[in-house]
Structure 1
Amino acid sequence: MTTTPFMSQADYLALDATAMAEGVHNGSLAPEALLRAALERCDQLDPTINAVVMRHDDHAFAQLKARQAAGTEGKGALAGVPMLLKDLNTYLAGTVTTNGSRLLGDTPPATANSTVVKRYLDAGMLVFGKTASPEFGMTTTTESSQWGRTRNPWNLDYSAGGSSGGAAAAVASGIVPVAHATDGGGSIRIPAAYCGVFGMKPTRYRTPQGPNSFEGWFGASCGHVVSRSVRDSALLLDVSHGHERGSPYWLAEPPRPFREEMLRTPAALRIGVVSADMTGTPLDPEIAEVLERTVGQLRELGHQVQPLTLPVDPQRLYAAHGTTSGVALLAAVRDREAALGRPMPAHALEPVTQRVLEQATQASAERLYRARRDFEAIGLQMELLFDDIDLILSPVTGQLTPPLGRVSLQNSYEDYIKHIVGSIGFTVLANVSGQPAMSVPLGISRDGLPIGMMFSAAHCQEGLLFQLAGQLEQQHPWTCLPALQ
C-alpha cells in the first residue's frame, strides 16, 4: 500500500467500521493508520472512562505484520478495523480473560481463540485489547473490584450499563466504531441504551459460543457487538454467525446477508407496544415520553402500532433465569477451585456474587430441569404471539441510567435487589425465549443521557429488525459521540 500510516483523530472519528474496511479495500486507508488512531484515542480517553482494561497492542501489531508479510493486509470483510473483545468467556490466544473477577485474575493465558474471535481475525480485524465487565457479567453496571468503575461518556458520574459497559463506553467515546459484547439478560441492550449506541442481541445460537462451551445459560447468553451504525452491526453478524465445528446447536442460514437486509425498506409492520415493566417497577415519565414519541414516528413511517399485553408469567420467567445463571456461576467457581487445587479464597468474590453463589448451592437437579423446561415453554408462548404481530416495541429499561454505585455487586444483596429491578424489567424475556432484540438510541433525557427503545422479533428474524433499524437510522439519525470534557 502507498497510503500513510497516520491519520487525524477527526478523520478517524468520521468513519464507522464499514467505511474503514472500504477504505482499506480501495487503498485509500492503511490498516496501520487505523490501528494507531484507535490506540491514540484510547490513550487520550480511557484513563477517564476506564473501558479498555487490558491492552494487547503487541498482538495487534504482530497480526498486522503477519498479514503484511502474507500479502493479505487489504483482504477480509473487516480488513484493518480496530477491535476490542469483552473480558467475559471470550478468549484470545496468548492473553488472559478474567471475567471481571479477582478469582480469575491470575489464570494462565488462553492457548486458542474462541470461534467468534477467530472469525473476527480471519475477517481482518485488529484486536488490541479487552473491555471491562462486572464480575461474571452478573449485573447491569460495569463496576468491579478487579477493574474499577467504567464511566458513561455522556456523564462520568453515571453507569455505562452492564455487563458490556466497557464495550459500549469504548464505542460511544470513539475509541472503536464497534466492539464485541455479550448478552445474558440485557447485557448488550442495556449498555447500548445508556451509552446511546446500537445494540443487537441475536437469536439464540445465531453466533458461536465455543469451543470451550457451546451454550451459555441454556442459550440465554449470546454474543455479538455494540456499534455506532446499524450497518456495522449487520456486517459483523454476517462475519460471525453460523455453525461451529462440534456444536450441537445451529440455525438455518438467513435468506440474504444482514448488511443487505438493513438496506431494504420494510413493508408496513404490525408492532405491539409493551409499556408494563415485568418487575412491576413504574415506568419513568421521561422514558414513557420517548416511547410515545417512537410510536408516533413508527406510524409516520406507515407501520401499524397497537398496545400489547405479554402472555408470560414474570415470576416463572425470573425464577428460570435466576436459577440458570446462578448454577452457571456455581459451575464456573467450582472449575476455578479445581484448577487451583483448593477452595475459593475468602472474600474472593463481590458480596452480591457470593450471595448468588450460596443460593445456587441450594438448587436441586429438579429445579434446574424445570428451569430449562420453562425456557422452552416461554419461548413457545412468545413464538405464538408473533403469529399476529411482526415486532414488539418496549423501552430497554424502565428507569433512567443510574449513577455509579447504585447497582454494583459490591453493595449489600438487599440494596442490590432493590435497585436492579429498574433495569431488567424488559430485557430478560428475550434471553429466556431466545428471540432477537435490539436497542435503538431514540431519545435523550432532560439531564442529557441517552434513552434506548427495544424492538423484539420472532426467532431468526434479525433481518426484519435490521430493516426497521436502518429505516429509523435514516429517518431519525442519532448522535453517538458525546463531547467528553
Structure 2
Amino acid sequence: MHAAAAQPALNDIVALSAQALSDAIRQRHVSCREVMAAYLTHIDRVNPAVNAIVARRDSDALLREADVRDAELAAGQWRGWLHGMPQAPKDLTAVRGMVTSMGSLVFKDQVTAHDSIIAERMRAAGAIFIGRSNVPEFGLGSHTYNKVYGITRNPYDLTRSAGGSSGGAAAALAARMLPVADGSDFGGSLRNPAGFCNVYGFRPSAGRVPYGPAPEVFLKQLAYEGPMGRSPRDVALMLSVLAGHDRRVPLSLTGDPAQFAQPLDADLRGKRIGWLGDWGGHLPMEPGVLALCEAALENLRTVGCEVDAHRVPFDGERLWRIWLVHRHLMVGGQFQALLQDPAKRALVKPALVWEVEGLSGMTAQQVYQASTERSAWYQTVLAMFEEFDYLAVPTAQVFPFDAELDWPKRIADRDMDTYHRWMEVVTPWTLSGCPVISVPAGFGQAGLPAGLQLIGPPQGDLDVLRLAHAYGQARDWVSARPPTALWAG
C-alpha cells in the first residue's frame, strides 16, 4: 500500500469482491504482497475449522511470488485479471509442480508435471497458486471427504456438508479464503456446493471451457470445468479467463471469452421463466426446499420476469436410466484399469467400484441407445425453450446434511438407491449440455443455505449470467448472510 492511501485492515482486503480486488491490484492501491499476507492470515484463522484448502504451499514462497507480481506491475506488466490473486485449484485439475491427489490414497503423493488448460490460463492471467481446494475421492459424490485430507465442513454449520465435488472451493469462497475459484461439474459438482455454501457456481455450455489435456477428447462431454464466485459478476470475469477454444480439445467452442468481461446489466422485463419444481412429484424433496426456491423466484418477478409452473414432458425415470449409462461409461472407462490392480482397488471408495462394475458387460448397443435417448431429451429441452427463455429448478433436493454421513440414504419417504440418487435434480441439465448457474436461494428454518438452478438454452451462457446478475441485484444473500461466526471475536 502506498503511503498516500489509507491502509485497510486485513479483513477489508479479504472482504473485497474479486472484481474490486483485481482493480485495486492493477491500480496499485494495494500490493500483491499485502493481498497475499492478508489472505494467508485469514486462512490460518478459519481454514482449520473448515478444511477447504489443502496441500498448502510455503507462506514465504508465496510472498516471494507476490513480490514478483508487484515488480511486474511496477514495470508496467499486468498479466491479466487474476494478477497477484491467490487461487487454490481444485484437487482434480492438474497443476504443474503440485500434488494432484484427487482425494485418493492411490495418488496422495502424485506431483503433476503439467498444467491443465484452466491452470495454464489462470497462471497466465497472474494467479498465485497457494494450495488445492479439497474434493471427494475422484470427485465422486456431492460430499467433500476423503482419506487423504479429511472432511470439508460447511462454513454456516461445521457439523454439515459443504457439498461437492467442488466443496472445498465453495467453502473457501463462503469463508472468504479465496476471492474467486475454479470447479468442475459432472453430477452437480459446481452447483450443489454453491447451493450448500450460499455462493454462485456456473456450469457453462458444453465446450465453453476446454477440458484437458486428456487422453480421450471426443466422448468426455458431460464433465466440465467452470467458475465459482460470490457474485455473478465475479463468476463472469473468471469465465473470461477460463473460456475459449483450445485446439487440443476439438469440441471446444470458438466464441471470444472477452464477451464475459462486459457489463451484465440487461432489461429482463417480459422474460419467461419455467419453474419445474419437483418434476411432477418424481423428485423427493426435503421439506422446505421447494418453498424456499419458490420464494426466491419472486426476485425474478421483481426485475420484470414472468414465472410460471411447467410440467416437464419427459419421464424422470427414463432420464435416470440414461444418466446411469453415461455415468458408468465415463467414470468406469476412466478408472477401469486402475481397479484391475487389487492393491489399488482395496484403497478406493465403494462408489468407484460400483461405477466400474456398472460398465462391465455393457454393450455398444446399450451405449448407442442411451445416446439416442439423450438426444430425445435434448429435443425436449429445445421445445421447452420455445415456450420459455429460461428454466428454474432447485439446486439440491436436501439442505446441507450431516458431514459425518457418506451420503443421504432417504429423502422424505423414499430410499435413495445409489450414492448420487439424492442429487438427481441436477442430472437432466448435465445431459442437456445447457449452461446452468446455481444462485443462492436463501436459508431454511434451521439456518442452512439452499440454491436455485437457472438454466438457459444451449450456448446462452452470457444470458444466464445476466439473469443471475439481475437476480443477485434484487436479493444479495451472499452479502446479507456471510458466515461471520468463523472470524468473529
**TM-score, scaled to structure 2:** 0.89
Q: How does 1:271-420 map to 2 (within 5 A)?
A: 271-277=273-279, 280-336=282-338, 342-408=341-407, 417=417, 420=420
Change (3 A) 1:321 1:217: farther
Change (3 A) 1:66 1:376: farther
Preserved contact between residue 408 and residue 416 of structure 1 (Cα < 8 Å): no
**Equivalent AA in structure 1 for residue 53 of structure 2:** V
Q: What's the offset of the Cα at 1:178?
A: 1.2
Q: What's the offset of the Cα at 1:277?
A: 4.3
Instruction: Indicate the SS of the match to 2:130.
Output: strand
Of residues 64, 76, 82 in structure 1, which corresponds to 2:80? 76
Q: What's the offset of the Cα at 1:40?
A: 1.5
Change (3 A) 1:255 1:140: closer
Preserved contact between residue 182 and residue 224 of structure 1 (Cα < 8 Å): yes
Match of 1:98 in 2: 101
Match of 2:196 in 1: 194
CA distance, structure 2, for counterparts of residue 330 and residue 425 of structure 1: 19
Change (3 A) 1:216 1:142: farther
Match of 1:461 in 2: 460
Q: What's the offset of the Cα at 1:236?
A: 0.6
Per-residue Cα deviation, 1:424-482 (whole angstroms, up to 9, x for no partner): 23211111110011111121011111111111010111111111111121121113521
CA distance, structure 1, for counterparts of residue 344 and residue 27 of structure 2: 54
Q: What's the offset of the Cα at 1:52?
A: 1.0
**Equivalent AA in structure 2 for residue 80 of structure 1:** G
**Equivalent AA in structure 1 for residue 432 of structure 2:** S
**Equivalent AA in structure 2 for residue 23 of structure 1:** A
Q: What's the offset of the Cα at 1:69?
A: 5.5
Per-residue Cα deviation, 1:275-311 (whole angstroms, up to 9, x for no partner): 1248834333312222221233322322111111223
**Equivalent AA in structure 2 for residue 30 of structure 1:** S
Match of 1:136 in 2: 138
Instruction: Indicate the SS of the match to 2:274.
Output: strand
Match of 1:209 in 2: 211
Instruction: Indicate the SS of the match to 1:145.
Output: coil
Match of 2:164 in 1: 162
Query: Any gaps of 5 or more consecutive residues in structure 2?
Result: none
Instruction: Indicate the SS of the match to 1:149.
Output: coil
Preserved contact between residue 15 and residue 176 of structure 2 (Cα < 8 Å): no
Extract structure 1 runs of 4+ deviating beyond 6 A: none
Q: What's the offset of the Cα at 1:61?
A: 4.6
Q: How does 1:434-445 map to 2 (within 5 A)?
A: 434-445=433-444
CA distance, structure 2, for counterparts of residue 469 and residue 113 of structure 1: 31
**Equivalent AA in structure 1 for residue 161 of structure 2:** S
CA distance, structure 2, for counterparts of residue 247 and residue 255 of structure 1: 16
2:250 counterpart of 1:251: no
Preserved contact between residue 36 and residue 66 of structure 2 (Cα < 8 Å): no
Q: How many residues align?
A: 476
Query: Any gaps of 5 or more consecutive residues in structure 1?
Result: none
Q: What's the offset of the Cα at 1:129?
A: 1.0
**Equivalent AA in structure 2 for residue 116 of structure 1:** I
Match of 1:421 in 2: 421
Q: What's the offset of the Cα at 1:54?
A: 1.2
Match of 1:239 in 2: 241
Q: What's the offset of the Cα at 1:166?
A: 0.7
Preserved contact between residue 142 and residue 192 of structure 2 (Cα < 8 Å): yes
**Equivalent AA in structure 1 for residue 142 of structure 2:** T
CA distance, structure 2, for counterparts of residue 72 and residue 373 of structure 1: 54
Q: What's the offset of the Cα at 1:419?
A: 7.0
Preserved contact between residue 152 and residue 160 of structure 1 (Cα < 8 Å): yes
Change (3 A) 1:57 1:154: same
**Equivalent AA in structure 2 for residue 460 of structure 1:** Q
Preserved contact between residue 265 and residue 468 of structure 1 (Cα < 8 Å): no
Q: What's the offset of the Cα at 1:409?
A: 10
Per-residue Cα deviation, 1:313-339 (whole angstroms, up to 9, x for no partner): 32332223222222333333345479x
CA distance, structure 1, for counterparts of residue 214 and residue 280 of structure 2: 33
Instruction: Indicate the SS of the match to 2:131.
Output: strand
Preserved contact between residue 85 and residue 130 of structure 1 (Cα < 8 Å): yes
**TM-score, scaled to structure 1:** 0.90
Identity, in percent, stands at: 28
Match of 2:51 in 1: 50
